[in-house]
A and B are shown apart, each in its own frame.
Chain A
């Protein structure tokens, strides 16, 4: 995959003072949105409902590495100086459990009750990162752009108000620059903020991406951003580009993985992999699900639920006679090959957005970028081997 050119800045950007940030939340609340933003819970910065900036992780940052996540203190009282959280838009747009339908009767005769029309939960998300907008775009391809449409997803997606934040402080596990998915947010947002907190003050440079975005911005004190302010915002993004914690070389990556289906490396990863499914749960693009059937005690009421599933479970590939992917090695190979290779065949884009969540939340720190580097290295070693032998004989 070619490295894509950086995303252009809007021709018109606005300045919103930090002191007026609450006016933005109020505007969203007044428009009937449930406002979701970054909050601290259980030792992590995760999405939660917010009423004002008091709910935000003011002055907090995160420290992320393979198998490691800690909240730390930032040097300034910023609102967004952290990277990807274990939550993503998927948490809301594609809930981990949802009722497909209920049915009543008996096995002899039953009727299906379609779920009642949903009360429209209209979410406004503050602090959506570039990687997550790209991930949402990928889930759109699964649930909206195929032969069949997921009506629940469509409903939630169409009603979402998205406020992106251009990252200023990537984590040690970030590699969106390698994947061409950040740090500058693609124009899938209603509003995009870049936070600046320096000697010149604490403010946001705001880009508008939709008519709804303009309508909300109109309720917030703002003025056109000055050239120096826009420049400062651009510097924030450039700084983030330089501060990526990890790299992934995507050159011919599909062919690399297809070529290496029988690589001995898969056994090595399987030796460490716990098949815990954490990587797939935190991945913002993983979309697999299973179904659960239940009945009440009378047996006259049945429900069918869709719940997130993971290709790391043994049951995932079960057909009569047992599971197709019995070994941990085949399951890891399936996951990484899907993310980086077969996703391209299926949806015309990489299934990895470089957010680094799978690296951070892997209990043993298995690292997608490292595994690709090792596959490449192994190939290079094999290529050079006969030559070296030849030289030795000389």
Chain B
């Protein structure tokens, strides 16, 4: 009899170390590996499947620092049954984890390039590990630009960190909100409007985008208008996902499985699909 093969659908229980409330509907978990000292290595842009006991499982991108794999960090927006149940969990409680899964941002191939990050809302979460990696190896890249859009000033994610990054002399952080509320002195409008004036050399830049499909489509339009070829754009896609290992079929995006071929795609691989309705 063959020895039984590991079931890829089985989660491992991780203890919640801390919970941080980011905005009214987003929160960040720091999870501890069940075996002391063990690490869960991951690449920026990858995701885990998180299981809430008796409720269900969801795909959540990893938003921590890949240089510190002992700390597993996830930022989640409470929008569905599982994520709302997740929002009620407290430090010390346990959550199931499978992963990491998928193809991440090819950041290590972009040495010498200007790095342009375009994102909105919780789309910043899967790009934060990329920014950590870039900033940890700052000398290897050209200019670094983060263009970020939020619905309102209260919906800005990782606010402290963004303020810190904005204070750096070797990084540009431009933020916009869809709707201004009390005291906001910054830009109002959609994130794509920030692209035309952002300080990067379009002929030596690579862009990384995560947000709603329509936002990514128009971001690429604005980037190509500045002369950045679409071959140097990477996007992170989202689809319903049940298994994360290519069995369940839910995450199909045309011929692509978002779980194993993505979630990060070279824009040219999905360009045809982004132009079609309801793929």
Contact B276 A262 (CB under 8 A): yes
Q: How far is the CA of A299 from the CA of B55 in the complex (A)?
A: 10
Give chain B residues whose Cβ lies under 8 Å from the Cβ of A299.
54
Q: How far is the CA of A306 from the CA of B56 in the complex (A)?
A: 12
In chain B, positions 227-260 with a C-beta closer than 8 Å to chain A are 238-240, 242-243, 245-250, 252, 254-255, 257, 260
What is the distance, in angstroms, from B106's C-beta to the closest C-beta of chain A? 19
Give chain B residues whose Cβ lies under 8 Å from the Cβ of A21.
none
Binds A, one of B1-9, B40-48, B138-146, B188-196: B1-9
Flag whether A151 is at the interface (Cβ < 8 A).
Answer: yes
Give chain B residues whose Cβ lies under 8 Å from the Cβ of A114.
7, 10
Flag whether A342 is at the interface (Cβ < 8 A).
Answer: yes
Contact A112 B11 (CB under 8 A): yes
What is the distance, in angstroms, from A145's C-beta to the closest C-beta of chain B? 10
CB contact under 8 A between A319 and B10, given known A293-B55, A302-B53, A324-B279: no
Partner of B248, one of A290, A321, A338: A290
Contact B277 A330 (CB under 8 A): yes
Q: How far is the CA of A318 from the CA of B242 in the complex (A)?
A: 11
In chain B, positions 183-222 with a C-beta closer than 8 Å to chain A are none
Contact B250 A295 (CB under 8 A): no
Q: Can you list, as one digit per residue, whether each of A119-149 has a CB less than 8 Å from chain B (1) or not (0)?
A: 0000000000000000000000011001111
Binds B, one of A100-108, A168-176, A232-240: A100-108
What is the distance, in angstroms, from B33's C-beta to the closest C-beta of chain A? 15
Residue of B nearest to A300 (CB): B54
Flag whether B93 is at the interface (Cβ < 8 A).
Answer: yes
Give chain A residues whose Cβ lies under 8 Å from the Cβ of B96.
103, 110, 112
Flag whether B30 is at the interface (Cβ < 8 A).
Answer: no
Q: How far is the CA of A341 from the CA of B239 in the complex (A)?
A: 20
Q: How far is the CA of A199 from the CA of B65 in the complex (A)?
A: 78
Give chain A residues whose Cβ lies under 8 Å from the Cβ of B249.
287-289, 309, 311
Contact B277 A148 (CB under 8 A): no
Interface residues of B (CB under 8 A from A): 4-13, 51-57, 77, 79-80, 85, 88-90, 92-94, 96, 238-240, 242-243, 245-250, 252, 254-255, 257, 260, 272, 276-279
6 closest Cβ contacts across the A-B interface? A288-B249, A330-B278, A345-B255, A302-B54, A342-B255, A148-B245
